[in-house]
Structure 1
Amino acid sequence: MTADLPELRSARLVLRRPMPQDVETRLALGRHREIVEAYGGTFDPNATFTRAEAEAAIRFIEQQSWAWVIDAGRFVGHVRLHSIDWQDKRASLAIGIDDQAYLGKGYGAEAIRLVLGHAFGRGLHRVSLRVLSSNSRAIACYRKCGFVEEGHEREAALVNGAWQDDIIMGLLDREFGSS
């Protein structure tokens, strides 16, 4: 199914399939508290990010039918559609920027807009996502892309020993581009 996944381009980004050198770049990026916790993980400052973990991260992207590496001159993260339901014409979106230097500079929004344009162009009607209520940076990015809050899942994630809500957001094809 990934053979027909196109490369998507914008002014600053290329969304593409993974390449072998992405493992080295992902390994060099390591792990950072803000990013780990935004994913809903628990950060251990004494844990080393290993080659096996970098390989697993890139392999995960390779194994997804609708996943792209976010390339801003090199690997900086990934974006993917999952839980695609062609009957109901909907999918879920997930994105991760793994390079701290690219946080808060619009790269995530740019990648999301590329994927949304492709998804809606292929006939999807709805794209949704879930985000930790504490992840204000991501929530602002999603709103910037046109997503609207549709609900909360109370105490849905245990992060660093504390319960957090998930916010459910969605975007319809007719709303895309009007934000």
Structure 2
Amino acid sequence: MTADLPELRSARLILRRPIPQDVETRLALGRHREIVEAYGGTFDPNATFTRGDAEAAIRFIEQQNCAWVIDAGSFVGHVRLHNIDRQDKRATLAIGIDNLAYLGKGYGAEAIKLVLGYAFGRGLHRVALRVLSSNSRAIACYRKCGFVEEGREREAALVNGAWQDDIVMGVLDREFDPS
């Protein structure tokens, strides 16, 4: 897995590297309570989402060795593999949908399945992730993609002043069903 990643395509989306227009799209999306809290952040309704914030978000994707923009006609989020361990043939997956209109409609699952196909097609044996226990929409999506709960880190994240558990999930190459 290298920085010269291929585009990955499904029926409704393209996973690709960032382009300059993504900054404008990300800026227009702004920041929403539901999404910020799903990431484990604290939402400040008085904070302005600036061009600098949008540039930083796109730059973060650009700087990752194995990350794609999720494009469903334009930028809607990103997905990445990190902590790639070639010896043990494993990696960690992270995904973020930043456009409220695309939540709960299967776009995340579509993107994840593309990335899992890519990862397992290049010899990885295992892909894991962490998710807040309160993020039931994401947990359902991950289960749909074949992930199973492997453990729980109790009170591992402080979100809006309250402790939440992190759920650790994983999927093995032999368990992955791309359909």
Is TM > 0.5 for Structure 1 vs Structure 2? yes
Q: Distance in 2 between matches of 1:178 and 1:13?
A: 15
Q: 1:70-107 deviations in whole A, cap 9, x for unaligned?
A: 00000000000000000000000000000000000000
After superposition, residues 98-137 of structure 1 pair within 5 angstroms as: 98-137=98-137
Q: Distance in 1 between matches of 2:70 and 2:122?
A: 20
> Which residue number corresponds to residue 81 of structure 1?
81
List gaps (5 residues or longer) in structure 1. none
> Which residue number corresponds to residue 155 of structure 1?
155
Q: 1:10-62 deviations in whole A, cap 9, x for unaligned?
A: 00000000000000000000000000000000000111100000000000000
Moved over 3 A (4+): none
List gaps (5 residues or longer) in structure 2. none
TM-score normalized by the length of structure 1: 0.98
> Which residue number corresponds to residue 35 of structure 1?
35
> Which residue number corresponds to residue 59 of structure 1?
59
> Which residue number corresponds to residue 2 of structure 1?
3
- Deviation for aligned residue 1:144: 0.3
Which letter maps to 2:96?
A: G
Secondary structure, in 3 states, of the residue corresponding to 1:24? helix
CA contact (8 A) 1:130 1:168 kept: yes
RMSD across aligned C-alpha pairs, in angstroms? 0.9
Structure 1 residue 16 corresponds to structure 2 residue 16? yes
Which letter maps to 1:164?
A: Q
> Which residue number corresponds to residue 173 of structure 1?
173
CA contact (8 A) 1:146 1:178 kept: no
* Identity %, equivalent residues: 87
Secondary structure, in 3 states, of the residue corresponding to 2:31? coil
CA contact (8 A) 2:147 2:170 kept: yes
- Deviation for aligned residue 1:178: 7.7
Q: 1:99-151 deviations in whole A, cap 9, x for unaligned?
A: 00000000000000000000000000000000000000000000000000000
Aligned residues: 178
Q: Distance in 2 between matches of 1:135 and 1:166?
A: 10
Which letter maps to 1:96?
A: G
